[in-house]
Amino acid sequence: MKNDIREVILSEAELKEIVTELGKKITEDYKDKNLFLVTVLKGAVVFMTDLMRAIDKPCETEFMVISSYGASTHSSGNVKIVKDIDVPLDDKDVLVVEDILDTGLTLSFLVDLLKNRNPKSLAICTLLDKPSRRVKEISADYVGREIPDEFVVGYGLDYDEKYRNLPYIGVLKPEVYAK
């Protein structure tokens, strides 16, 4: 599996530092709010798990499954909800926790959907931001790191459901997905 990675762009230690920084900032910003984390599975599950432990205040969590990639390295542009959240968002301070903000198609769809459910506030936290590929005008309120236009895997991010278990984020060799 390591042979499929061209380079590591965020080590396990760097990821821990990023999550700790984000957790402190979110704790401060939401100190007097009813924090409700909405996470997009499967990619954000590892980040979400670490982030919620780095947030020093009570918070609720909910999970959604949204897809626009399938077994590809590029978004299809067709966003579909596979699993929706199970609770109303009225009067909740919602923070969407995402693994990567890439084209913005999926996240833009999700934000529009959640805004229509009347949250008290709505913000976005993404581990990775790839602004060079943005096609929708959307940005995150909390960003772990900006990355170049490379296909990355690890720490929850996958290619064809593989590589999620890597403890770091690495650039996948093109020959792996060009098969």
Residue 42, preceding peptide bond in cis (omega within 30° of 0): yes
DSSP strand pairing (169-172 vs 152-153): antiparallel
d(CA 169, CA 156): 9
Task: Please choose, from the candidates 124, 58, 120, 55, the residue with its C-alpha nearest in 3D space to the C-alpha of residue 88.
Answer: 120
Active-site annotation holder among 50, 99, 102, 129: 102
Do residues 26 and 72 lie in contact, with contact meaning Cβ atoms separated by under 8 Å? no
Give how far Cα 11 sits from Cα of 19, 28, 159, 168, Å. 12, 26, 19, 5
102 is catalytic: yes
Residues with catalytic roles: 102
